[in-house]
Structure 1
């Protein structure tokens, strides 16, 4: 599975941006053929990192790289990108990645090597 990850830096109008992102950008993305799901995460710094640079992460999922390319080049995809950049161009860092998931199996006993 492929996804885009957008990290949004702290800004003066975080709540206004969050409202715009979840009520304008996310619905636009979900209406584009080829987008499987969108996840939005509010970020909080930890004592471990001490980094408070970003306050929000948005992830958009695609079945594969080809689907990602089709969405990116579609008129709907271009409109969603434009909507995002209009509000956050100076505050956003974006990545594209291939996701792998690892899960525990609650029905088996863990094996420990001693």
Structure 2
């Protein structure tokens, strides 16, 4: 599975941007043919990272890299990209990647209780 990952830097109007992103950008993304799902995560720095550069992460999922490429040529894809960049171009760092998932299985993995 392929996805885009958008990391949004801290800004003065984070709550306002979050509302814009979830109420305007996400619905547009979900209307693009080939988009499987969209996930939005508010980020919080930890003691270990000490990093407070980013406050929001948006992930958009596609079945394949080819599916992702096709979405960029659709009218819906072009409109969603323009909308997303309209309010956030200076705050956005974006990536495209291939996702792999790893999960534990409590039925086959030994668990020890002392």
- With the length of structure 1 as denominator, give the TM-score of the two structures: 0.95
| SS of aligned partner of 1:3 | strand
1:90 deviates by: 0.2
| SS of aligned partner of 2:49 | coil
Number of residues paired by the alignment?
A: 112
Asked whether 1:97 is paired with 2:62, we answer no
Structure 2 distance, partners of 1:60, 1:109, is 31
Aligned to 2:44: 44
Moved beyond 4 Å, runs of 4+? none
- Map Cα deviations across residues 14-66 of structure 1 (whole Å, 9 max, x no partner): 01100000000000000111000000000000000101000000000000001
Aligned to 1:16: 16
Aligned to 1:33: 33
Structure 2 distance, partners of 1:36, 1:89, is 24
Which stretches in structure 1 are left out of the alignment for 5+ residues? none
| SS of aligned partner of 1:66 | helix
1:72 deviates by: 1.3
Which stretches in structure 2 are left out of the alignment for 5+ residues? none
Please report the RMSD computed on the Cα atoms of aligned residues, expressed in angstroms: 1.3
Asked whether 1:73 is paired with 2:50, we answer no
